[in-house]
Amino acid sequence: MKRFLLVLLAAGCATHTPDMRSDWERRNLPAEPAPEEALALPKYPTGRLIELSVPDGGSFRYYVDPASVSAGRDGIVRYVLVARSPAGSDNVFYEGLRCMTRQYRIYALGRAEGSWGGRQGDWQPLAASSAQPWRAVLFREYFCPQSDPVRTAAEAVQALERGGHPAARIER
């Protein structure tokens, strides 16, 4: 009987996930992120690109296509990123940042002939990674200053053109 109670107690504890949010967050923010808006892939980048400064980016250069940037009512900032190697090869990603939960998602990958491919990924936690450093920079400096999403695509593009969002300067 003791063993049964221990197993039952352990099973109950295993399914409980503690709420790690602050009291203010519990009162003012929804428990679940807003439902994601319908997705339409942007045009493949062929025009103007805005270069990002990515300190840990190695020898790659990073660009965002300003025509692809959107700020949805769902709190997700979407964009096309081009990572260009020193040899001139481009790695192209269509991604989204969910600012309130510090997550990212890859929606599509660019193909060499200029089309989109790949399978949409799941939401992943945003981590400072030497393998993909641009996401942390875009989150912190451009699209999610102080973890708040930019309100419009124009605000995001202005942040890119200025080299950072003004609110990002405040938190340093």
Q: What is the CATH number of the domain that holds 110?
A: 2.40.128
* Number of domains present in the structure of the chain: 1
Give the structural domain span for 140: 45-170
Report if residue 35 sits inside a domain: no
Half-sphere exposure of 127 toward its Cβ, with a 13 Å CA cutoff? 6
Render pLDDT for 103-140 as a digit per residue (tens, 0 to 9): 999 999 999 999 999 999 999 999 866 678 999 999 99
Q: Is residue 11 part of a domain?
A: no
Does residue 19 sit within a domain? no
What digits encode the pLDDT tens for the residues 161-171?
Answer: 999 999 987 54
Asked if 21 and 101 count as a contact pair (C-beta separation under 8 A), the reply is: no
pLDDT (tens digit per residue) in 32-87: 666 776 788 999 999 999 999 998 888 999 999 999 999 998 999 999 999 999 99
Who contacts 132 (Cβ-Cβ below 8 Å, separation ≥6)?
A: none
- Amino acid symbol at 42: P
Query: How far is 96 from 74, CA to CA, in rounded Å?
Result: 11
**What's the pTM value of the predicted model, to 2 decimals?**
0.77
The verdict on residue 103 lying in a domain is yes
Residue type, 105: R
Are 120 and 107 contacting, i.e. CB atoms less than 8 angstroms apart? yes
